[in-house]
Amino acid sequence: MRALPALQGVVATAVTVAACSAPGPAVLITVPQAWRHRAAIGWGNDPGAVSSLRLLSCPPQLGLWNAYAGGFYLRSASGCVPLVFAIARRATTLRFAIGSGNCGSPA
């Protein structure tokens, strides 16, 4: 986890993430460098506003989940926030419409 400087005038949006349904590698979630002055994230055990965090793999017992309460911190009331999700050596960027933010529609 990488803590960010105090964010003033920040809008927080709550999101609960239920991660994985079977044992597997941890997930690294990162706010891209170009967005770090506009947005931050925070899930699980009160990490505060951070630019990246790691969600642990699920317990080995079938049917158990890890749930993380938290969400987005934005300097504006809305936005289309990109997050990079990396698992092992694979990564993809997902965009989240927060508030009245619009990420466009898929083609």
Architecture of domain 11-97: Sandwich (2.60)
Note the pLDDT tens digit of each residue in 23-37.
Answer: 678 889 999 999 999
pLDDT value of position 16: 54
Q: What are phi and psi of 37, to 5 degrees?
A: -85, -10
Domain coordinates of the chain in residue numbers?
Answer: 11-97
Note the pLDDT tens digit of each residue in 34-92.
Answer: 999 999 998 877 667 899 988 877 767 766 677 777 888 888 888 899 999 998 899 99
Beta-ladder partners of 3 = 50
pLDDT value of position 8: 46
- Three-class HEC string of 84-99: EEEECCEEEEEEEEEC
pLDDT value of position 35: 95
pLDDT value of position 9: 46
Note the pLDDT tens digit of each residue in 3-16.
Answer: 444 444 455 555 55
pLDDT value of position 43: 80
Beta-ladder partners of 29 = 53, 85
pLDDT value of position 46: 67
pLDDT value of position 11: 56
